Amino acid sequence: MKPISRRSLLVGGGVGVGLIIAFAAWPRKIVSALTGEKGEQIFGHYLKIAPDGRVTVAIPQAETGQGIWTGLAQIVADELGAAWEQVAVEPAPAGAVYANALLERRATEGATSVRAFERPMREAGAVARDLLVRAAAAKWDVDPATCQTADGFVIQGDRRLGFGQVAEDAAGLEPREPILRAGESGSLVGQSLARLDGPAKSDGSWRFASDVRLPGMLFASVRVAPPGGTLSGFARQGPNDRLITGDGWIAAVGETWWAAERALVAANAQFTGNADANGAAVDSALQTALNTGDRQSLLAQGDYVETVGDGRALAATYRIAPAEHHSLEPMTATARVSGEKVEVWAPVQDYQTALAATGLEAVTLYPMPLGDPSGAGMATAAIPIAIDLARRTRRPVQLTVPAKGSRNHLPMRSPMLARMTALPNPAGGLAAWSGRFATVTGLVLPGAAPPYAIPATRIEQVAADLPIATGYMRGGTEALTAFPNESFIDELARRMGSEPFSFRMGLLGGNVRLAQALTAVTALGRWDGGSPGSRMGLACVSAFGSHIALLAEAGIGPDQSIKVDRLVAVVDCGRAINPGLVKQQVEGSLLQALALATGRAPEIVAGMPKARREVLASYAIVPQIEVEITPSAADPGGVSGLGHAVLAAAVANAIAAGTGRRLRDLPFDSMAA
C-alpha cells in the first residue's frame, strides 16, 4: 500500500487542473488554505472543479460515521448545480478558516457541523455558480441572467457547457458577493442521496488511521499508568527487546504490532495508581458538592423561593453514573519525524486539542476518518507517545493502544447527581421548578432548563472535583440533563393524577415545534395514555437547534432485565439536508443510548473504568424503530445526539407506567425503585 497523504484520502470523483472556489464574506481578496497542483487555480477554501467536470469539496469536519462528508458536500453541490455522481470530498487542510464558528475552534461535536457550515458551504457553491455562469455567458455572448446551472452544466436555452469546460475561464474572473438560490434549491438538498463514503466502506478500501502505511514504519503497543500514576517496574527479556519507557508509560516497537504486543506482555509492566479513586469516591464527591458546594445560577426566572413559600414541593433525586465509550476503534496515531519536520496521522475529532497534545509549535496533522461516532476521537493520548517513539527510533511509528487499554484510558462521560423539586399549582400545572445539578468542574449545561413554561424556574449547577478523567460523549450534556428533567416531569404528572402527554402539552407554552412533535409521536406510536399497566413512556427535548419526541414501549423481563420492544421518534430538525442521514443518526443514537442505559455502570479502579468483555452485549437486541421527520423550512438543527437526549427518560417512564417502579439511576442496572 502506498503512503497516505491528505490528497490520497479523496473519496469519489477525481482531482485535476481546474477551479477552486469558496468565500465566507464578500467582496474581498483571500489567500486560500488549499494548495493546488500544477495548473490549478485557487480562489477559496472549499471547492474545486476539475477539467472533466468533477467537483471536489474540502470538508473541515471529521467523518465519524455520521455522514457529514456527504451532508456538507450535498449543500455545496445543491447550491452549485452539480451532478451528484461527479461530486467527491477530501479533508480540509490546516487553517483557521476551517474553525467551527459555534465552537470557536476546529472540532466536530455537539451536533454542530451543519449548523456551523451550511452558510459557508452555500456561499462557496453560489460564488462558483456565478463565476461559471459568467464564463459561459461570455463564450456565448449572452446576458448571464439568462443562464442557469443544473446537473453539472451551465445552461442557456438549448446550449450547455460542462463545468470543466469553463472552469479555467471562470478562475480568471473577479468573484462577487454570493447570491444564494431563492425558493427552490438546486434539487439535491432534501434528497436521501447515497453516502459518498458508502462504496469505499463496503469494499474495504476506506482508510482509517490504523490503515496508514509509511516506508520503514515500525509498529508499537503501549501500557499507560492510571491517572496520576507512574511506571513502577517491568521485566526486560534481553538486549533486543526494543522496550521504550516514558513518563508513566512503557511501549514496545516491532516489525508487526503483534510482535510489539507480545514483548509488552512478557515485560509484565507494573504501575502505581490512586487506589482511592473508585466509584465510591465519585459518588461521595457528587453528594458533597450537591449538599454543600457553591451554586452557580444558570437560570433564575421568577422567584422560586417566594413562590414555594410554605408550600409542599415535590422532590426526587436522580443519579447518572460515569459512562464509558464502547468504541470499536482503538486509540491510535502514526508519527514521522524528519529533522524539525513532524507529521501525525490520527483519528481526530478536535483538531486544536490534537495539535496541542503534540506539545510542538510546528507539526503537520492529517486528521483521518474515525471508526467511532461516540466521541472517542476527542482522546489524544496516543499522539505524543507516537511522536516520542518516532523521534527515539528515528523511524515512522504507528502506535495502537490495545482494545482493553483503550477502554481504560478513554475519558468517560461525566457522572451527575440531580436534585429536582417542583410545586404544583391549583390548576393542575406547575407554579415552580428547581433543578440542581452536581457535575464535574468545568462542564457546561446548555440543556439544563426544561422546555416548559413554568413561572418560577431555578436552575443551578454545582462543581464537583472528581477523581476520574472525563470528556465528551455523543449526546453532550443534553443527554445528562434530559434524563432527570423528563423523568421528573413524568413523575410529577403521575403523582398529580395527570395523563403524561396532556400534562406536557399544558406546560409547553410557546414551544410550538416541540408540541407538534409530541402530538405527532403519540399519533404515530398509538399512545395509550400511559396509565398504570401500560408499557409506554414519553420524553421530549429541544436540543441542538432541533426538537424530538420519543415514545418507548418497554417492560421488565423474567430475568429482571429491561426489554425495549419499540421506539417511535418524531424529529423536527428544520431543513433536512439529507433525510436518510437524519434517520440514520437518530436510529444510531437511540441504539447507542439504549446500550448505555441498559448496560452496567463501569467499575472504577484507580480512576479508570475497568475493561469488560461484555460491554457490547446490550447491542445484541434491537427494538423496532420508526423515525418520522417533520417537514420544515426552518434553519437546519443538529441531529447526532437527539436519541441520546430522550432515550433513557422515555424507557424509564415506560417502566414506571407498567410496573410502578421509578428508575432514577442511570444506567438501569441496579433496577432501583
Supply the pLDDT for residue 420. Answer: 98
Supply the pLDDT for residue 644. Answer: 98
Residue 151 exposed, middle or buried by CB count within 10 Å (0-12, 13-18, 19+): middle
CA atoms within 13 A on the CB side of 305: 1
- Which of 57-66, 185-194, 480-489 bottoms out in mean pLDDT, i.e. has the lowest? 185-194
- Cα–Cα–Cα angle for 624, 628, 629, rounded to 5 degrees: 150
Identify the band that residue 236 occupies on the pLDDT scale cut at 50, 70 and 90: confident
Identify the band that residue 94 occupies on the pLDDT scale cut at 50, 70 and 90: confident
Task: Name the grid cell of 214.
Answer: 509509511
- Which of 97-111, 486-500, 512-526, 603-617 bottoms out in mean pLDDT, i.e. has the lowest? 603-617
Identify the band that residue 182 occupies on the pLDDT scale cut at 50, 70 and 90: confident
Identify the band that residue 671 occupies on the pLDDT scale cut at 50, 70 and 90: very low
Instruction: Round to whole Å and give the CA distance between 601 and 615.
Output: 10
In this prediction, what percent of the chain has a pLDDT beyond 90? 82
Identify the band that residue 221 occupies on the pLDDT scale cut at 50, 70 and 90: very high
Identify the band that residue 3 occupies on the pLDDT scale cut at 50, 70 and 90: very low
Identify the band that residue 237 occupies on the pLDDT scale cut at 50, 70 and 90: low
Higher pLDDT, 578 or 240: 578
Tell me the chain's radius of gyration from C-alpha atoms.
27
Supply the pLDDT for residue 133. Answer: 97
Q: Cβ–Cβ contacts within 10 Å for residue 39, how many?
A: 10
Let me know: does 292 contact 570? Beta carbons within 8 Å. Answer: no
- Cα distances from 218 to residues 249, 259, 389, in angstroms, run 18, 11, 9
pLDDT digits (tens, 9 = 90+) for 537-553: 999 999 999 999 999 99
Name the β-bridge partners of 346.
367
Sign of the Cα torsion 488, 490, 494, 497 reads positive
Residue 131 has pLDDT above 80, yes or no: yes
3-state secondary structure of 470: strand
Query: Pick from 552, 171, 584: which is nearest to 373 by CA?
Result: 584
Residue 53 has pLDDT above 70, yes or no: yes
CA atoms within 13 A on the CB side of 532: 5
Q: Cβ–Cβ contacts within 10 Å for residue 165, how many?
A: 18
- Mean pLDDT, range 166-175, rounded to an integer: 89
Task: Name the grid cell of 387.
Answer: 511522536
Supply the pLDDT for residue 5. Answer: 45
Torsion region of 301: left, alpha or beta (phi above 0 gives left; psi -120 to 50 gives alpha): beta
Query: Pick from 180, 71, 87: which is nearest to 125 by CA?
Result: 180
Instruction: Round to whole Å and give the CA distance between 396 and 265.
Output: 23
- Mean pLDDT, range 46-62, rounded to an integer: 91
Supply the pLDDT for residue 475. Answer: 96
Residue 400 has pLDDT above 60, yes or no: yes
Identify the band that residue 1 occupies on the pLDDT scale cut at 50, 70 and 90: very low
- Which of 265-269, 323-327, 505-509 bottoms out in mean pLDDT, i.e. has the lowest? 323-327
Pairing mode, if any, of strands 243-246 and 430-440?
unpaired
Name the β-bridge partners of 619.
none
Instruction: Round to whole Å and give the CA distance between 470 and 608.
Output: 10
- Cα distances from 346 to residues 202, 209, 238, 382, 394, in angstroms, run 22, 5, 32, 9, 19
What's the 3-state SS for 192-238?
A: CCCCCCHHHHHHCCCCCHHHCCCCCCEEEEEEECCCCCCEEECCCCC
- Mean pLDDT, range 432-448, rounded to an integer: 97
In this prediction, what percent of the chain has a pLDDT beyond 70? 91
pLDDT digits (tens, 9 = 90+) for 245-288: 999 999 999 999 999 999 999 999 999 999 999 999 999 999 99
- List of residues 6+ apart from 73 with CB closer than 8 A: 57, 59, 87, 88, 89, 196
Residues 474, 480, 484, 490, Cα dihedral to 10°: -10
Query: Pick from 208, 165, 252: which is nearest to 63 by CA?
Result: 208
Residue 4 has pLDDT above 80, yes or no: no
Instruction: Round to whole Å and give the CA distance between 87 and 91.
Output: 14
- Mean pLDDT, range 358-376, rounded to an integer: 92
Residue 27 has pLDDT above 60, yes or no: no
Let me know: does 662 contact 317? Beta carbons within 8 Å. Answer: no
Query: Pick from 544, 587, 581: which is nearest to 73 by CA?
Result: 581
Residues 119, 125, 126, 128, Cα dihedral to 10°: 140
Task: Name the grid cell of 91.
Answer: 479533508
Supply the pLDDT for residue 613. Answer: 63
Instruction: Round to whole Å and give the CA distance between 561 and 258.
Output: 39
Q: Which pTM does this prediction carry?
A: 0.93
Residue 6 has pLDDT above 50, yes or no: no
Task: Name the grid cell of 568.
Answer: 417511535
CA 95 from chain centre, in angstroms, equals: 21
Average pLDDT for the chain: 91
Supply the pLDDT for residue 315. Answer: 97
